[in-house]
Amino acid sequence: MNQSKTNESCLGIMISMEFLLIFSKSEESILPTILPLQKKYETAILEEGDLVDTIISEQAPNAILYFSSFPSDREICLSTLKSMYPTSPILYIHDQDSRIRDLNKLNKNVDLVLKALPPPSFILEIVNNCIKNKTKNITTHTPQENLDKIEQPSSPLMQRIYRMAKKVAPTSATILITGESGTGKEVTANWIHSKSPRKNKPFIAINCGAITESILESELFGYKKGAFTGADKDKIGLIEAAHNGTLFLDEIGEMPLSLQVKLLRVLQERKLRRVGDIEDIAVSVRIIAATNKNLKSLVEQNLFREDLYYRLNVVHLHIPPLRERKEELPNLIETFFRNYTHTHSSSVSSIAPSTLSILMYHDYPGNIRELQNILEFSVIMSDGNSIQPYDLPNEMQQDAPGNLLPAPEERKFKDRVEFESLHQFLEHHYQITTPTIAQLEKIIIQERLKMHKENQKQVAESLGISRTSLWRKIKEYELENKAPSPI
């Protein structure tokens, strides 16, 4: 059954759906294109302006397709969608003239970005794959090569942890993993799963702090048809889906008290009851929970059940922060460096010794996640065959001791190469050898006008100035109605 909702009709609870389409009013022309989608799937259609206030649903759509010409509220809409439906892939389609820097902000909320509306057959193929592989967003597997590497850590602290993990892996014991954000708690849980008799069964991960209470209950325990408005068919929860496998509950300290008692019953009786059901379902699932909080302190504050704490804390593994196990850094740096050069098809083949010294010196308050971000940034920014200190993020260069930074002559040499490239450009295209500031400003505006096809709004935004200031500069340099110089 297809459900089409307009501005007037979508002011309440959303009907159960397999697929959600959101579009801005300026994009209504896309509706005929997605008719094949509506015919094949139960589809809810909402107008973008009403999204934040109107979406109320107890179940997540299998996929979300989001069309937009970058309206002002798009980031709020996407953020809301991701927080409400963290397991639903979001496909974002934008127009060809959209600014790429805006797209970069969407990465955390969007699973796939398309630069133009694809043909219906392609949309159907994407949606089919999303529906078939929906659990890929909640079922995570670290590449086996990386799992094998962490089995032989360099630091004594991690060696002790993995000795314990190796002993507990073949059992069904519940495990509590603690540690700061970004220390690798999920990777450790995944490794334990890969070494257990359950390794060929699902490993399903969910962040308990990223979902509202009602949706978290439905996601974990499932529901019976008719349990609430919109529940028009039975839904299997993640605990059931992880039967004979492993369920990783990240940020367990964020789980509401009302759900903690239901989880306790699963641990005690190995049974669960779907929302709205009267029958119990037997499950065999290993629970691995993780948190960056002090659960014992939460128990004392009556924010976490004491009985659940002791049920989870059968085996406690504490992952130390990266600053306390720097012996791991060389292996981690090598692994992430190779991963990102491959991912970005980079020609960078090495890391300069001076860069490696800075990477070893840094304290990494964001732990392994911060190290990953730094290496990915550096691989992308590097222009040569090796990553140099000046390819690192600015904050990292500022925090590094002066003796680890490159000599001023080295930095000046790179700046000189960049300056000479600009000098050659100006001489070749504008016949200017020694440009004044005014000439440079005029040329930059002229080139931007060409780049954005005379769209002054886009030019002003790309230069970070107001349209009024740009208009004055265009008048001052007599650039009105003049085609930019060809290159």
CATH number, domain of 76, equals 3.40.50.2300
Most trustworthy range by pLDDT among 38-47, 124-133, 256-265 = 256-265
φ, ψ of residue 43 in degrees (nearest 5): -125, 130
Region label for 427, one of left (φ > 0), alpha (ψ between -120 and 50) or beta (otherwise): alpha
DSSP 230: T
The answer to whether residue 417 is domain-embedded is no
Residue 448 belongs to domain with CATH number: 1.10.10.60
The answer to whether residue 226 is domain-embedded is yes
Q: For residue 85, what are the contacts with CB-CB under 8 A and spacing of at least 6? A: 60, 61, 64, 215
Residues for the chain: how many in total?
487
> What six digits make up the tokens of 167?
């002993």
Report the number of distinct structural domains present in the chain. 4
Q: How confident is the model at residue 37 (pLDDT cuts 50, 70, 90)?
A: low
Q: How confident is the model at residue 364 (pLDDT cuts 50, 70, 90)?
A: very high
Q: What's the whole-number mean pLDDT along residues 203-227?
A: 86
Residue whose structure tokens are 């962040």: 207
Domain termination site, one of 132, 147, 179: 132
Angle CA 104–99–384, to nearest 5: 60
Taking only the tens place, the pLDDT of each residue in 246-259 is 999 999 999 999 99
Specify whether the CB–CB gap between 143 and 194 falls below 8 A.
no
Domain termination site, one of 294, 320, 346: 320
Cα distances from 164 to residues 152, 158, 316, in angstroms, run 13, 10, 9
Both 375 and 461 in one domain: the answer is no
Specify whether the CB–CB gap between 188 and 319 falls below 8 A.
yes
Both 182 and 171 in one domain: the answer is yes
Both 264 and 181 in one domain: the answer is yes
Number of other CB atoms surrounding residue 170 within 10 Å: 12
The answer to whether residue 386 is domain-embedded is yes
Quick one: 235 exposed, middle or buried, by C-beta within 10 A (0-12, 13-18, 19+)?
A: buried
412 pLDDT more than 50: no
Region label for 102, one of left (φ > 0), alpha (ψ between -120 and 50) or beta (otherwise): alpha
The answer to whether residue 139 is domain-embedded is no
The answer to whether residue 239 is domain-embedded is yes
Both 340 and 309 in one domain: the answer is no
Specify whether the CB–CB gap between 134 and 87 falls below 8 A.
yes
Q: What's the whole-number mean pLDDT along residues 145-173?
A: 81
pLDDT score recorded for residue 92 = 73
Domain termination site, one of 277, 305, 320: 320
Residue 201 belongs to domain with CATH number: 3.40.50.300
The answer to whether residue 13 is domain-embedded is no
Both 348 and 309 in one domain: the answer is no
Residue 376 belongs to domain with CATH number: 1.10.8.60
Both 248 and 307 in one domain: the answer is yes
> What six digits make up the tokens of 400?
């590094």
The answer to whether residue 140 is domain-embedded is no
Domain range for 449: 422-477
Both 40 and 107 in one domain: the answer is yes
Residues above pLDDT 70, as percent of the chain:
61
pLDDT, greater one: 459 or 182:
182
Both 438 and 293 in one domain: the answer is no
Strands 175-178 and 315-318, by their bridges, are parallel
Both 204 and 307 in one domain: the answer is yes
> What six digits make up the tokens of 440?
């440079």
The answer to whether residue 12 is domain-embedded is no
466 pLDDT more than 80: no
Q: How confident is the model at residue 371 (pLDDT cuts 50, 70, 90)?
A: very high
Both 316 and 328 in one domain: the answer is no
Q: What's the whole-number mean pLDDT along residues 22-42?
A: 60
Burial string for 352-374 (b: 16+ CB within 10 Å, else e) reads bebbbebbeebebebbbebbbeb
338 pLDDT more than 60: yes
Mean model confidence pLDDT for the chain:
75
Both 340 and 284 in one domain: the answer is no
Quick one: 53 exposed, middle or buried, by C-beta within 10 A (0-12, 13-18, 19+)?
A: exposed
Both 196 and 311 in one domain: the answer is yes
